[in-house]
Amino acid sequence: MNQYWYQMAAAAFVLLLLWMADLFLFQKHKAPEKTGWRLDLFLFLYAWLTLFLLNNHEFVVYNNYSYLSDALLKGRLDTPDLPGYLESFSLGGKTYMHFAPGVAILLLPAAAIFGAQSINYAYVGMTLGALSTVLFYRILQNLSIGKDARERFWCTVLVLFGTVHCFCASIAHSWFIGHAASWMLLFLSLFLVSVPYRKAENESAGFFAAGVAFGLCVCCRLGNLLGAGVFVAYILLKKREGWLRCGLLFAAGAAVFGGLYMSMNYARFGTVMDRSYDLTHLKDLFKPLYYYMQESISESREQMAFLDAAQRTDWDTAFSSLETKRAFVEFLQRNAAESWNYCRGIPETPAASMDALELQNVFYEIVHTSFPKVGGALSILNAKNNLYSIFLLMPEFKAESPFVIPTLAGVSLTFCTPLMYAACIPLYTRRKDPMTWVLLGTTVLTAIPFVMNYGNGFAQFGMRYAMDFLPYIMLLACMGLTEGRWRSYKTALVLVCVLINVWGPIYWNCFYLR
């Protein structure tokens, strides 16, 4: 409980700092419209200190990316040293880290200097979150969202500490740090694109660098690729004279890491698409098929062909001969006592003694009963559960400590960030601005992979997958909040969102992990 009271005091200190910043920076001294490096430094230090206070100060052992960083430095793509408690998949007899490689690439310099296993993700998450705080404030300034520094400050506080980003950046386990890294890189790209350049050569360098940042952002979270429309629209709408040059430079920059990512996929899967989550989906939900594939098929390309056929439930292609069907039934019989072998209809009669007709009947009864639909990681059938998770999933409330208990599957955005709905305001007040509809469309588009995913993120506070589309809807929310005068009730609403979201890491550290 000492940790609990320490973090509760830390949360109170965070709110006190916010009040002091509002009082002394923006009310007493009236921070000018164009604030300089001093505000950037304040935002960075405030954000880093906040995330530091909300962390449990232990070495993060859920560090999947470190194993890939180490492997890349050794010139290989597989991660043979990855421990069993970290998620992985096997292909062609090799073990791979199943997350997208962006964070591992980002950590390569530190891994080369200090050693991959010496990197504590806690401090990486704090630094990424602090950088995102500075960058988002500058994006608001570049896009003229908010009338003064005070409004932009509170919008920045809302987006970085009144959303699930606060939890992801302060906890920084492998499942969360990828989201924090993708936000920092996305905001860096948006900042570089929206800077009002004075010289053409600086603009060219800026757009190329923005493309590089966006490409690495996509390598952190593939769903971020669907956010490219914001950059295309911004270039077409704002760069009327040099749009083609800026667009090509941005695309060339994005191709740097995009090309590396596709090359990595081709080397592993025989296609430029990342199939990691398809294999993880098979391993999570259809273990008998996954383990049979590992035992009976050795070549990675043949395993991928088996995966594709299983996803289509094309059993005559997946098991192309009577002998492969017999081998599968024998495999299930040998492993009948294993907890992962949930197949029904497995007969006691040995498969080796069955005639062809009996074997065919047994095989098809098993696959049609136990695997009526396999599919891939994304399916429209998952939309109902994920939409419920996004909008309606509530925590449990109790009369005794800890009072508010998140579900293991997380908590909805409606509970965590109710000010998200301020995004509806500019749909009326700025309905003639094309960027309003671009941001709305991008929000919907980037939400599709989450809505269709077979899981909602699990073991989390908030909805971590929502971080793929939150930047766009929160920009709309900032537009809505800054309509009219900034009044005290708006500050209070932002603080409510901050209070809710600092509870995430407090609960995680003091109750969930104990």
What is residue 262's predicted lDDT score, i.e. its pLDDT? 97
What is residue 414's predicted lDDT score, i.e. its pLDDT? 97
The pair of three-digit structure tokens given for residue 150, joined into one six-digit string? 């005070």
pLDDT tens digits for 288-320? 999 999 999 999 999 999 999 999 999 999 999
Query: Does residue 239 surpass a pLDDT of 90?
Result: no
Segment holding 90, helix H or strand E: strand 88-91
| Cα 375 off chain centre by | 22
What is residue 5's predicted lDDT score, i.e. its pLDDT? 83
The pair of three-digit structure tokens given for residue 359, joined into one six-digit string? 């074997």
Domain boundaries, the chain: 276-370
**pLDDT > 90: what percent of the chain?**
85
The pTM of the full predicted model, rounded to 2 decimals, is 0.95
pLDDT tens digits for 332-368? 999 999 999 999 889 989 999 999 999 999 999 999 9
Rounded to the nearest 10°, the torsion over CA 11, 15, 18, 24 is -120
Query: Does residue 512 surpass a pLDDT of 90?
Result: no
| DSSP bridge partners of 453 | 378
- Print burial letters for 52-75: b (CB count within 10 Å at least 16), e (below 16): bbbbbeeebebbbbbbbbbbbeee
The pair of three-digit structure tokens given for residue 6, joined into one six-digit string? 């320490």
**pLDDT > 70: what percent of the chain?**
98
What is residue 474's predicted lDDT score, i.e. its pLDDT? 98
Burial of 31 (0-12, 13-18, 19+ CB in 10 A): buried
What is residue 430's predicted lDDT score, i.e. its pLDDT? 94
- Angstrom distance (rounded) from CA 192 to CA 195: 5
Q: Which range has the worst mean pLDDT, 14-18, 205-209, 307-311, 313-317?
A: 14-18
Q: What's the length of the chain?
A: 514
Rounded CA Rg of the chain: 25
- Average pLDDT over every residue of 474-495: 95
What is residue 29's predicted lDDT score, i.e. its pLDDT? 58
Other CB atoms within 10 A of residue 284 CB: 15
What is residue 19's predicted lDDT score, i.e. its pLDDT? 81
Query: Does residue 513 surpass a pLDDT of 90?
Result: no
Biggest alpha carbon distance in the chain? 89
pLDDT tens digits for 28-84? 655 555 557 888 998 999 999 999 999 999 999 999 999 999 999 999 999 999 999
Rama region for 115: left / alpha / beta (φ>0; ψ in -120 to 50; rest): left
Query: Does residue 151 surpass a pLDDT of 60?
Result: yes
